[in-house]
Each structure stands twice: as C-alpha cells, then as structure tokens.
Amino acid sequence: MAIIFRNVRYLTPDFTVAEGTVGVQGKDIVYIGAEPPQNLDPAATIIDGRGRLLLPGLCNIHTHLAMDLLRGYGENLSLQDWLFTRIFPFEAKLSSNAIYWGAQLAIAESLRFGVTAATDMYMDVDAVCRAAAASGFKLNAALMAPVGADKTGEQPFPGAMAALERWHNYDGGRIKIDSYIHAEYTTDEATCLLMRDIAKAHGLNMHLHLSETKLEHEECKGRHGGLTPAGWFARLGVFDVPTTVAHAVWVDDADIEVLAAHGVTVAHNPVSNLKLASGIAPVPQMLAAGVNVGLGTDSSASNNNQNLWEEMKLMGLLHKANTGDPTVITPREVLQAATLNGAKSQGREDTGVIAVGKRADLQLLNIDQPHYAPCYDWLNNLVFAAQGADVVLTMVDGQILYRDGEYPTLDVEQIVHEVEQERRRILAEL
C-alpha cells in the first residue's frame, strides 16, 4: 500500500527545503511533486504534512547498541577506570538474552529520534542482528564473537562466522555484516591481516576504533617504530577495504592524509569523547582534506542516549569554540554527516536523501512549535533549534516503525521489563 505525505515541507538533495507531496510505494520513494499524483492509489495512506518537515533518516555510524543496559552505570570516571572497574566486569555477566533485549531497547530509542540505521560493534553479533531483524531497523553489525568467547572478539569464532552466513545482506541488504578489529591496542598483526582478508573475501566493510585517546595513540607509536594507529593499519592493508573508524580524536595531519587517500570514513562521537575526556577530533581538518565524516553516539554507557540530534548540535558548535572560528563547520555539513555521509559509510548508496528511486528511510518532524519560529534558514533551525523529541514518525524501507509514541514492530513495555530483569540478575552476580 502506498503512503502519501501531502502538503509537507521536505529536505531536497541539495539541502534546500521545498513543499509538496512525497509518495512511497513498497520500500521506495516513487513520487515527488508540487501536487499529488493524478493516479493516486485510492487505498493509499494519506499523511497530512501541514506543520511537518520530512527529512532523510539519520545514520548512527558508531554504536554499541546493547550497552543501553549500562546507561548511567559508569559515571565520572577516567576511560581506564570506566573500562576496568565498571564496564568489563558487567559485560562478563552478559548473556545472549541480555544483549538481544539491550539492543532492542537501543533500537526503540533510536527510532524515537529519527535514526533509521546504525553501524554497531558488540559481542554476539547474532543476538544484535536478531534484534534488528525483528524491529525492521537497518544495521551494519560487526563480526564479533558470541557470549563466552574472548572478550575483545578479534578472532572470527565459529559463531560469528555462522552469523555472517545468516545475516549478511539479510532482507535485501537491510542487515549487513562488517568485518571487525577492536583497536590497535587490543589486536595483533595476524588478526588484522585475517580480518582484512575476510572482508575482501566476503565483500565486507571494516569497523574499528582509532586514536580515541592520547595514551592509545602514543603507545602505538612506541610499539610500532613511530607508526600511529592510522599508519599501522594502513601499512597492514586494513584500509584497502571500505573502513569506518570511530573517534580519530588524536590523529595528526599525516594521519588525515592517510584517511583521505584510502577513502576511510570517520565516525565523529563528540558527546562520548567529551564525557570520557578523550579530547576533540580535528573534524574541520578532516573535512578540508575530503575525509567522509559521519556521526555516532558511541554507547549509552558513555553518552547516555541514542539521540543523534544532540551529536548534530554539538558538532555544529564544538569546533567553532575549539578553533576560535565561528564560520567552521556549516549546518549543511552537519546534516550531511548525519544522513548521506553515514549512509555512504554503510555501503548504502540507495538512501540518505529524499529523491525518487531512493529507499524510503525517512523521519517526520513536528515544526509547528515555538522553537522553530521565526525561521530565516531551515538548516540553521534544524541543527541548532530542533530537538530529537520533535520526531513524530520514523520510516525504514517504507515501513512506519515509530509514530506518535507507538512502535508497530516493538513491544516497548516488554523490552523495558526484560532489560530490568537482566540488570537485576547481573548486579546480583557481581
């Protein structure tokens, strides 16, 4: 059945705002025009777009979805204390069931904020993929170990390889599997070569952490004859496959040149990097060098939510203060990072913009509110005034997954209950 958005403002591919009708049939956008189509399907669902703005769905390209289970559990700690005194002991008690429900909770939260796809990295890829499959959400999931395997998960354990067979390009590519290296400081050369070769053999993207902290960056140079993490991964050929690196806070000018030359995407995580005092990534220099930059929330243990609208506003503000240049990072660059750039990093060339023939991965905002008035420039309002709570509808592949507080594919009451049961079990075992 067709879905027609009538009398709606919408963001065009050139980042202007137009008004008219947007039509969806099946998984795709099939019509855009000033007036409704003449051959309108009489059975179509008509959505009144007055006071609304239709945008591409947001792409969150660095997440640990199931860590919604740890929201607020490790506060006001340094990264090392956070990891070793709170996160790792808690994670050692996780079950597949806990990871499934934690991921479902994060997916519900993501849909509430207009996020239609995530690039995830967490143990037990099968459990995370099952959560995405049930919800209708789009997911790039890292090839990680199941519960009970080595915590860092660098080796492709049989359970992870079985998940690759089961989930890669599931449902027409709605779920994809990415190859995975946790980070330079938790891996070795043989593992990197193995994961690179798996990516090449199966046509996978790569997802890894890079230069998140100064300590990580400098210790890598000591281990590898002066090579930074970016230099080391490049020497090993890891960047010979499409790669998304998370954080890149401490990369230098030479690293940025390496990332640009290899077409590497950087997942910018400003909230998490500030909360853990990791630093501020040199995003303006990356953009100037032509690096594809997208946005990520990281985990709810270091953020503490999946609201990518907060990352957008912070990206638009943080680098102005950090550089002393109020003209650096434009609203268009922010919106593009959250939509088109993120889709590109996931290998999804069929989405990220509102155009005929593209997948209907969309969000609808209520703009009939005081904080949108007056409007001199829509992009400025979207980056600096809009709120994640303004989202009233989220659609993935033409299917409405969130609308006005309702989740057609998710039982949020059950999800919250199951998460609470797992939280109590784990705390009792610690």
DSSP state string for 126-153 = HHHHHHHHHHT-EEEEE--PPTTS-TT-
Residue 155 has pLDDT above 80, yes or no: no
Looking at residue 334, its pLDDT comes to 98
Residue 198 in tokens: 């798996």
Looking at residue 226, its pLDDT comes to 98
pLDDT category at 354 given cuts 50, 70, 90 is very high
pLDDT category at 77 given cuts 50, 70, 90 is confident
pLDDT category at 39 given cuts 50, 70, 90 is confident
Alpha-helical (H) ranges within 59-152 are 79-81, 88-91, 96-112, 125-135
Residue 62 has pLDDT above 80, yes or no: yes
Distances (CA, A) of 389 to 323, 353, 392: 30, 21, 8
Report phi then psi at 278, rounded to 5.
-75, -30
Give the span between the Cα atoms of 73 and 82, in whole angstroms: 9
Give the span between the Cα atoms of 165 and 62, in whole angstroms: 23
Report phi then psi at 219, rounded to 5.
-65, -35
Task: Please choose, from the candidates 60, 61, 33, 36, the residue with its C-alpha nearest in 3D space to the C-alpha of residue 48.
Answer: 36
Helix (H) / strand (E) element for 242: namely none
pLDDT in tens, 254-284: 999 999 999 999 999 999 999 999 999 999 9
Cβ neighbours for 347, distance < 8 A, ≥ 6 positions apart: 140, 176, 205, 242
Cβ neighbours for 221, distance < 8 A, ≥ 6 positions apart: 227, 228
Mean per-residue pLDDT, 119-147: 92
**Residue-range domains of the chain with CATH:** 3-56+351-403 (2.30.40.10), 58-345 (3.20.20.140)
Cβ neighbours for 202, distance < 8 A, ≥ 6 positions apart: 164, 168, 177, 179
Give the span between the Cα atoms of 163 and 130, in whole angstroms: 10
**pTM value > 0.85:** yes
pLDDT in tens, 386-423: 999 999 999 999 999 999 999 999 999 999 999 999 99
